[in-house]
Amino acid sequence: MTPADHIRVERKGAVLWMTLNRPEVFNALTRAMYAKIEATCAEVERDDTIRALVVTGAGDAFCAGADIEQFTRFDRVEDAIDYDARGNDAFGALENVRVPTIAAIHGACVGGGALLASSCDLRIASPSVRFGMPIARTLGNCLSSRDMSRLISLLGAPRTFDLMLTARLLPAVELQSAGLLSEVTPDEASLLPRAEALAERIAALAPLTQRATKRTITSLRQLQERDERELLASCYLSADFHDAVEAFLAGRPPQWKGK
């Protein structure tokens, strides 16, 4: 499979489907995949006959986060800044695309996968979903204010603190009670048919109303942007981060030293 195949895009009537397609690594995200997400959203902007967009994952997971191997080459602060920007460009494209977006989630939805799902307008999931941001026990990196704002807008500050500080993964029942999921399907097999039915219902509604609703809600979530160069550098260039990346790839636990 080539990088061009890592996201599969297909049209079903008025609905465009975007499937993360690296099941052998639980659909881990690469820079090329971020670029494909942006390009797909740009395609939607150019085609008025597309009325909804569904994002899902192939295999046993929605998305297990970033491809860790790409972090082995981080040795400058610009590496962290650029990687964060690439992700936010993709997530922002989903947030701002003119049509309603639906994340159909199953299995692992963590790290960058959690941010991807959070950038969609609606989220439905099967019972196997596990959602979280376990970076405090895996890589020791950090989130930008834009990424943190996405989580806070959905979960609120108290639950976001819980999610981030405990590094735990939230199950379907808790995600639905928190309002992050609009529904949980009865079983795994019914997830994609339900996503298709929901997308078709949304696609049949007034497109100008849908677009205005998206713009209004998105604009109300004002992101507090600031210079995060020092913050990102302190995590991504730390000895802890580099050891954690090596540990992850070697299958051993990281040794946190706080430097």
Span 124-168, pLDDT tens digits: 999 999 999 999 999 999 998 889 999 999 999 999 999 999 999
CB 41 within 8 A of CB 80: no
d(CA 152, CA 163): 10
d(CA 145, CA 128): 29
pLDDT tier, 98 (very low <50, low <70, confident <90, very high otherwise):
very high
d(CA 141, CA 248): 13
Local structure of 177: helix, strand or coil: helix
CATH superfamily of 3-211: 2-enoyl-CoA Hydratase; Chain A, domain 1 (3.90.226.10)
Model pLDDT, residue 65: 94
pTM: 0.89
Q: What is the mean pLDDT of residues 174-187?
A: 97
Average model confidence (pLDDT) across the chain = 93
pLDDT tier, 174 (very low <50, low <70, confident <90, very high otherwise):
very high
Kindly list the domain boundaries of the chain, sorted by start residue: 3-211
Least confident residue range of 82-86, 117-121, 231-235: 231-235
Report residue 169: phi and psi, to 5°.
Answer: -105, 130
Q: What is the mean pLDDT of residues 47-52?
A: 97
Model pLDDT, residue 145: 86
C-alpha to C-alpha distances, 63 to 28, 106, 165, 174, 187, nearest whole angstrom? 6, 9, 21, 19, 19
Least confident residue range of 70-79, 96-105, 107-116: 70-79
Model pLDDT, residue 185: 98
pLDDT at 107 over 90: yes
CB 61 within 8 A of CB 108: yes
Please give the distance of CA 221 from its chain centroid, rounded to a whole number: 18
Q: Per residue in 181-240, pLDDT tens?
A: 999 999 999 999 999 999 999 999 999 999 999 988 887 765 545 566 787 888 988 999
pLDDT at 12 over 80: yes
CB 118 within 8 A of CB 94: no
Residues contacting residue 106 through CB under 8 Å, at least 6 positions apart: 56, 57, 60, 61, 62, 125, 126, 128, 129, 188, 191
Model pLDDT, residue 79: 86
Task: Name the E strands within the chain.
Answer: 7-12, 15-20, 52-57, 101-105, 108-110, 122-125, 130-132, 170-171, 183-184
Model pLDDT, residue 72: 87
